[in-house]
Amino acid sequence: MKFNRLISGVALLSSLIFAGDSLRELATNNGLTPIPDNKKKLYKIIDPKGLLTPQKILLGKKLYFETRLSKASDISCASCHILDGGGDDNVPVAIGHKGAKNPHHLNSPTVYNAVFFDAQFWDGRSPDLEDQAKGPIQAPPEMAMTPKEAVKRINEIPQYVAEFKKAYNKDVKIDFDLITSTIGLYERTLVTPSPFDDYLNGDDKALNKAEKKGLRTFIRIGCTGCHTGIAIGGSMQPFDVGKDFKFAHLGDFKGGENGLVKVGTLRNITQTSPYFHNGSMDKLEDVVKEMAKIQLGKKITKSDIKDIVTFLKSLEGRKGDTSAPTLPPLKK
């Protein structure tokens, strides 16, 4: 009896000592990857070609906030991807030029951590951020510009011309590709390390007991089947936009190649309501339930939903300087 108690005491003690490690191992074995806490390691991922410099980042940020890149000079990237919030706009459908709603009833996804996605846009049609940025400037329901007019406007602003020269070289040609790729370079820096990352990076106390339980539940239910990797999403996966999804009728989005849909990142997910490609659901609890049902064929309990949502809160990350930069005046 005494001996048994001693054994179970030792077992309990060791399970307490290794509790942190085993959950961390479980998470990494299921493909969950932290944002590195080491700057060098992080830059290897977000800037594999070594293109980022402080000048380019600041110039890209100005262009990101630049309303003169839109036809009516009233909308910028920051209008729909608000950096103070979750990197989106918190409305179901994106609203652009002259109040136009996205014709496919598409919701603005977050720009935060988009650098970690395998592909950009809900249908994955763009390979990276530099390429992606060409889309919204020209899209009639977004910024409604022609590349020619965008290039003309930027070249007319002496301070921009000077800043491009400083960031690149004195003979640089400021064309549409350079303007959009500079915005993309800035977006590469929009990463948000969270308590979850701190935990995976070795800080046992970064997550509390309830969040750890939630992480276990998230893995046990099978969410990591798709919400995995450093983006906790960001790959292209099947999603029945035609049939099973409760709000399939909203909008005409049918997915990309083979009907695949970009898996939304779960980072900062508590700040990016409403949810799904068509902005059809407001409450995170409902989305978790719907996901378990359509993606995993599971009916999950209320307490599992609560646990998962508690874990999802630990993915709220630390944002960098989100304030709008001072934009160059039209004349010197």
Helix (H) or strand (E) run with residue 260 in it = strand 260-262
Among 56, 60, 62, 79, binds ligand HEC (CB under 6 A): 79
Q: In angstroms, rounded to a whole number, what is the distance separating the alpha carbons of residues 230 and 66? A: 30
271 binds ligand HEC (CB under 6 A): no
296 binds ligand HEC (CB under 6 A): yes
Alpha-carbon distances, residue 220 vs 62, 295, 311, 314 (angstroms) = 44, 14, 13, 18
x/- letters, 147..186, toward ligand HEC (CB under 6 A): ------------------------------------x---
Q: Which residues are catalytic?
A: 142
Distance, first Cα to last Cα, the chain: 87
Considering only residues 300 through 319, tell me which ones interact with ligand HEC, judged by CB under 6 A: 308
133 binds ligand HEC (CB under 6 A): yes
Alpha-carbon distances, residue 94 vs 25, 136, 142, 204, 274 (angstroms) = 39, 11, 8, 40, 11
Q: Closer to ligand HEC at the Cβ: 117 or 196?
A: 117
Closest approach of ligand HEC to the CB of residue 297, in Å: 10
Angle (nearest 5°) at CA 98 between 241 and 158: 115
Q: In angstroms, rounded to a whole number, what is the distance separating the alpha carbons of residues 45 and 113? A: 11
Q: Are 129 and 188 in contact (CB under 8 A)?
A: yes
Closest approach of ligand HEC to the CB of residue 141, in Å: 7
Could you tell me whether strands 260-262 and 236-238 are parallel, antiparallel, or unpaired per DSSP bridges? antiparallel
61 binds ligand HEC (CB under 6 A): no
Helix 147-155 with 158-167: angle, nearest 10 deg: 90
114 binds ligand HEC (CB under 6 A): yes
Q: Are 76 and 60 in contact (CB under 8 A)?
A: no
x/- letters, 219..248, toward ligand HEC (CB under 6 A): --xxx-xxx---------x-x---------
Chain residues in the site for ligand HEC (CB under 6 A): 75, 77, 79-81, 94-96, 102, 106, 108-109, 111, 114, 117, 120-122, 129, 132-133, 136-137, 142-143, 183, 187, 221-223, 225-227, 237, 239, 261-264, 266, 269, 272, 275-277, 287-288, 291-292, 295-296, 308
